[in-house]
Amino acid sequence: MTFVVTENCIKCKYTDCVDVCPVDCFHEGPNFLVIDPDECIDCTLCEPECPAEAIFAEDELPEGQEKFIEINAELSQTWPVITDVKEPLEDAKEWDGKTGKLDLLEK
């Protein structure tokens, strides 16, 4: 099993989670983070650190978020690893909790 970053991270991109990851499995895109499923060791440390509550265990994904399993796997192969905490996107608070953001994902 692995953990998955889901839709609520889009346009928020809080990075609190990368600071606690012992295996550096997070990858950064323009407005989203993903977890490399091949690197994730299922340690559970990242999930409670996400202010947007966008990280879930693969077998506990909310309904409608299953497509993010594939998105995380795909984008983690091309996006660079992120290991340092950065400021969230400028308007992150405005986007936190909004649904229907998949079309806003910048690859």
- Interval 77-96: pLDDT, tens: 999 999 999 999 999 999 99
34 lies in some domain: yes
Q: What's the pLDDT tens digit per position in 41-55?
A: 999 999 999 999 999
102 lies in some domain: no
- The average pLDDT across 28-35 equals 98
27 lies in some domain: yes
What pLDDT sits at residue 102? 97
Confidence of residue 1 (pLDDT cuts 50, 70, 90): confident
Amino acid present at 86: K
Domain of 79, in residue numbers: 3-84
Total domains present in the chain = 1
What pLDDT sits at residue 6? 98
- CB burial of residue 51 (10 Å; 0-12, 13-18, 19+): middle
CATH assignment at residue 26: 3.30.70.20
What pLDDT sits at residue 22? 98
Q: What's the pLDDT tens digit per position in 59-68?
A: 999 999 999 9
pTM above 0.85, yes or no: yes
